């Protein structure tokens, strides 16, 4: 799966993040697609939005793993096969937007404000295959029944940050724990984040890192031709 990060105790770092976030803290962590901020409580989410100068019209993503994605998202088998082809078969990061099962017990255990802030147009976003550390954190959270939410570790509309040194001071200031694994795997000069696709309509919410590779997989293997936002069919 995602590239292994040498020289770090990923399991211990994932546990440290998990415990801090469960306690109401904010964590800044390394992802292959750019650094991210994670939270679990309403207060922590509000602190993230204030530091990022982010509108609450823009939702957070659920910090989930493949199992949670399969349990939460309401998608037919052919769409699930497409997602697996991208994230497992071709080892690419992908943010999946899809309708979800509102009666899932893990959603029922979430703070209502945090859950409502993660929902957009009756869909949830779960980023898959974004790095070993994030996978480990997601596994701990899902197994414990405490879902986290996340956003990019940057002020709003300023582009993703691929190194801790590049994250704005106001974002770093709210973090109770920072996990610095150096530069993100997919850093780009224009600050792209993850590619986000709505798998009910194949609408590209965001053409981010690895978009061309993801589009090539879906075209070659499933005859799905993605359109970049703003482009004509």
Q: Where are the domains of the chain?
A: 10-222
Classify residue 21 by its DSSP letter: H
**Rg of the chain over all Cα atoms, to the nearest angstrom:** 16
Q: What is the pLDDT of residue 6?
A: 57
Query: In whole angstroms, what is the distance from residue 17 CA to residue 100 CA?
Result: 26
| Tens-place pLDDT, residues 88-141 | 999 999 999 999 999 999 999 999 999 999 999 999 999 999 999 999 999 999
220: alpha, beta or left? (left if phi > 0; alpha if psi -120 to 50): alpha
Residue identified by tokens 């992908």 is 94
Q: What is the pLDDT of residue 129?
A: 97
- pLDDT confidence bin for 232, thresholds 50/70/90: very low
202: alpha, beta or left? (left if phi > 0; alpha if psi -120 to 50): left
Q: How much is the average pLDDT of 43-71?
A: 96
- pLDDT confidence bin for 156, thresholds 50/70/90: confident
Q: What is the pLDDT of residue 2?
A: 36
Residue identified by tokens 């962590």 is 29
Q: Is there a contact between 192 and 209 (Cβ–Cβ < 8 Å)?
A: yes
10-222 — its CATH code? 3.90.870.10
- pLDDT confidence bin for 55, thresholds 50/70/90: very high
- pLDDT confidence bin for 4, thresholds 50/70/90: very low
Q: What is the pLDDT of residue 230?
A: 65
Q: How much is the average pLDDT of 161-187?
A: 96
Q: What is the pLDDT of residue 7?
A: 72
Q: Is there a contact between 166 and 30 (Cβ–Cβ < 8 Å)?
A: no
Give yes or no for residue 5 having a pLDDT over 60: no
- pLDDT confidence bin for 26, thresholds 50/70/90: very high
Q: How much is the average pLDDT of 166-191?
A: 96
Q: Is there a contact between 36 and 179 (Cβ–Cβ < 8 Å)?
A: no
Q: How much is the average pLDDT of 72-101?
A: 98
């Amino acid at each position: 799966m995602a590239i292994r990060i040498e020289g770090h105790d990923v399991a211990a770092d994932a546990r440290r993040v998990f415990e801090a976030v469960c306690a109401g803290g904010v964590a800044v962590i390394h992802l292959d697609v750019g650094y991210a901020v994670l939270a679990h409580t309403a207060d922590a989410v509000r602190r993230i939005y204030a530091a990022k100068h982010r509108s609450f019209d823009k939702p957070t993503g659920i910090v989930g793993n493949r199992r949670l994605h399969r349990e939460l998202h309401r998608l037919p088998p052919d769409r699930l096969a497409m997602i697996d082809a991208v994230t497992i078969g071709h080892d690419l990061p992908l943010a999946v937007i899809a309708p979800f099962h509102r009666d899932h017990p893990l959603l029922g255990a979430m703070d209502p404000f945090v859950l409502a802030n993660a929902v957009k147009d009756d869909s949830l976003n779960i980023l898959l295959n974004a790095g070993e550390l994030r996978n480990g954190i997601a596994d701990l959270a899902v197994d414990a029944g405490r879902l986290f939410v996340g956003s990019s570790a940057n002020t709003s509309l300023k582009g993703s940050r691929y190194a801790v040194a590049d994250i704005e001071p106001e974002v770093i200031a709210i973090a109770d724990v920072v996990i610095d694994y150096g530069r993100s795997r997919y850093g780009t000069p224009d600050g792209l984040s993850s590619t986000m696709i709505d798998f009910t309509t194949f609408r590209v919410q965001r053409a981010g890192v690895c978009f061309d590779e993801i589009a090539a997989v879906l075209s070659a293997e499933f005859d799905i031709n993605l359109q970049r936002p703003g482009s004509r069919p």
